Amino acid sequence: PPRTVPNHIDRPLYAKGKSEPREERVITYSAEELEQMGKTARLAREVLMEAGQLLKPGITTDSIDEFVHNALVSRGAYPSPLNYSGFPKSVCVSVNEVVCHG
């Protein structure tokens, strides 16, 4: 079943079925925006490091996805892969270091 995100968490446009506008210029960010991006990156790193502790033979990719989803949502964050171009999961997981993008 699809994972849900509480309504109080902001969603990106793609999660609302809308496309992101394409920028044809160089984007300049304010100091506040850069600070927020840093906080977001630190939060993502923290959750991924915690998820890494789960990795062991026999764990399912769905279990990892559930953990990451819940960890992000509990911190008030939207899992960025979720619903991106229809992607149904909250994290991209590679089995045996096999990567497939298409």
The more confidently predicted of residues 11 and 101 is 11
pLDDT above 70 (res 20): yes
CA distance 50 to 71: 9
Q: What is the pTM of this model?
A: 0.83
89 Cβ contact partners less than 8 Å away, ≥ 6 residues apart: 3, 65, 81, 82
- Give the tokens for residue 55: 């990795």
- Residue the block writes with tokens 């990106």: 12
Q: Contact, 101 vs 77, CB < 8 A?
A: no
Q: b/e map of 57-91 (b: 16 or more CB within 10 Å)?
A: eeeeeeebbebbbebbbeeebbbbbbbeeeeebbb
pLDDT above 90 (res 68): yes
Cα torsion 67, 69, 73, 75: sign: positive
pLDDT above 70 (res 82): yes
